[in-house]
Amino acid sequence: MFGKKGFTLIELLLVIVVISLILGMGIPLVNKNINKTFFYNFTNKVYFLFEYAKSRAILRNEITKVIIDPESELIQISQSQDQSIEFRKVKIPSDIEIQADSLEILFYPNGTIMEFEISITNKDRLFCILSSQGFDGKIINSLNE
């Protein structure tokens, strides 16, 4: 008599079902973490655009303006007369909503910033508040979940 070798079809199907269930439970967590990473990446891009605008205002000794344009889905540094300057901008993703007390933020050559508060939210209810008190030139990035 020959001994039993290998697995039966039922055993193989059972293993496939168990692996599918485990993967099925993990996909929502992975998707949530991906969305969270994209959100944090966007808020950091906006924060560093503001820091760049502040540095540009100080180095060029001129007022630099950042414009939040919901219609074109852009946050960008406004253009000046010097066309050789490469301007920076950040595209607003479709799943992100921005509320701002002002759509134009001014950065002054002495390092101060016009007071502002910008609320950034996404569909997963993650939110971030970027703000400045103006006089000290600090940009505050408050990420919350």
pLDDT digits (tens, 9 = 90+) for 58-68: 999 999 999 99
The confidence band for 83, taking pLDDT boundaries of 50, 70 and 90, is very low
Tell me the average pLDDT of the chain: 87
Beta-strand pair 104-107/64-69: antiparallel
Q: Which residues contact 67 (CB under 8 A, 6 or more apart)?
A: 74, 75, 76, 77, 78, 103, 104
Residue-level pLDDT at 38: 93
Contact 97, 122 (CB under 8 A): yes
* Confidence (pLDDT) at 29: 82
Q: Which helix (H) or strand (E) is 75 found in, with range?
A: strand 74-77
Domains of the chain: 30-144 (3.55.40.10)
DSSP reduced 3-state for 113: strand
Rounded to two decimals, the pTM is: 0.78
Q: 141 pLDDT exceeds 80?
A: yes
For residues 101 and 117, give the distance between their C-alpha atoms in angstroms, rounded to a whole number. 6
